Amino acid sequence: MIISAKNEERIMRHQGGHGEDFEDCTHDCSSCSSNCSHAQGGGGMDFSEFKKPLMPGASVKKVFAVMSGKGGVGKSMVTALLAKGMQERGYKAAVLDADITGPSIPRLFGLKESAEATESYLFPSISSKGTQVMSMNLLLGYAGEPVVWRGPVLAGVVTQFWSDVLWEEVDYMFVDMPPGTGDVPLTVFQSLPIKGVIIVTTPQELVSDIVEKAVNMTAIVDIPIVALVENMSYFKCPDCGEVHEIFGKSKIKEESERFDINLSVRLPMDSEFSKLADEGRIEEAVVEGMKPLLDLIEKL
């Protein structure tokens, strides 16, 4: 692996007499008594036992998880827009893509080159606007390569994305969660210092039960919900300005009241926005509906 000059500089800046020595690590946690950042946690709900430290020299101030009870609701797009929005406000933003088997964050940001690594360091890729990103697709031979792993292995990779990556002075990190409420979401809530959760949904009737599952999971892990985002909520005709609720009447107000969520956000369907996402230019998208959510996150 050829390491770029910038990452060589990072290594020099963060090496020294502070932190763990990874040179003798075999990465076989089952035969090791060390409590280093490579150690793999097990099950159970005693979160304090499994909280993972960042690697020496890495820095992340606030972490928010973006989740949904099902796939296909635009969770990754919302995650990318949150990072893009905070980056535009002058903060250093990052995305940890915890959707190991279905990663889409690199494509949204137009990242095609593999992430760089040494035996001791894994470096986040940097988008054109400065957002730091780590995703499974940045480590695979090609984007279409399937990840056919069982739950515990997937969960272990997520913790390594947190503890083995040289995150550089990140103000806001957004974790793109896999859909559902299984092993990986639980590992994220156990292992990372999540400050709040953004739940993404769509207007269909079916989604109500799915939102309830996500809300109940956040209650179990005792992490507050920051906002409920209804994606693909409506379509605004570019010619006449009329609003059409293509997937049915919005239910976000009722759902927010039902679950006592203070902020709800409606995002439109927009062909230009979708085009930018497909082309890896998500950082050029302008979505006014995100402003109240960004304002709230900035205050937390």
Q: How many structural domains compose the chain?
A: 1
pLDDT at 10 over 80: no
Evaluate whether residue 77 is within a structural domain.
yes
Least confident of 30-39, 142-151, 201-210: 30-39
Report pLDDT digits (tens) over 62-110: 999 999 877 788 899 999 999 999 999 999 999 999 998 888 999 999 9
pLDDT band at 40 (very low <50, low <70, confident <90, very high): very low
Eight-class DSSP state of 248 = S
Evaluate whether residue 249 is within a structural domain.
yes
Higher-confidence residue of 67 and 31: namely 67
What CATH code is carried by the domain that includes residue 124?
Answer: 3.40.50.300
pLDDT at 20 over 80: no
Evaluate whether residue 33 is within a structural domain.
no
Eight-class DSSP state of 273 = H
> CA dihedral defined by 241, 242, 246, 252, rounded to 10 degrees?
90
> Which range of residues forms the domain containing residue 144?
56-299
Kindly report the pTM of this predicted structure. Answer: 0.81
Report pLDDT digits (tens) over 119-151: 888 999 999 999 999 999 898 765 666 666 666
* Alpha helix ranges (H) inside the chain: 5-14, 75-88, 105-108, 151-163, 183-191, 207-220, 252-258, 271-278, 291-299
Average pLDDT over residues 27-44: 41
How many other CB atoms are there within 10 angstroms of residue 12's CB atom?
9
pLDDT band at 195 (very low <50, low <70, confident <90, very high): very high
Portion of the chain with pLDDT greater than 90, in percent: 46
Evaluate whether residue 43 is within a structural domain.
no
pLDDT at 168 over 50: yes
Q: How far apart are alpha carbons 70 and 48 in whole angstroms?
A: 28
Report pLDDT digits (tens) over 216-269: 999 999 999 999 999 988 888 888 888 888 888 888 888 899 899 999 999 998
pLDDT confidence of residue 128: 94
pLDDT band at 30 (very low <50, low <70, confident <90, very high): very low
Q: What is the mean pLDDT of the chain?
A: 82
- The amino acid that residue 264 corresponds to is S
Is residue 84 classed as helix, strand or coil in its secondary structure?
helix
pLDDT confidence of residue 41: 38
| CA nearest neighbour of 204 among 21, 70, 63 | 70
pLDDT band at 296 (very low <50, low <70, confident <90, very high): very high
Tokens 């990663």, residue? 103
Evaluate whether residue 60 is within a structural domain.
yes
Evaluate whether residue 101 is within a structural domain.
yes
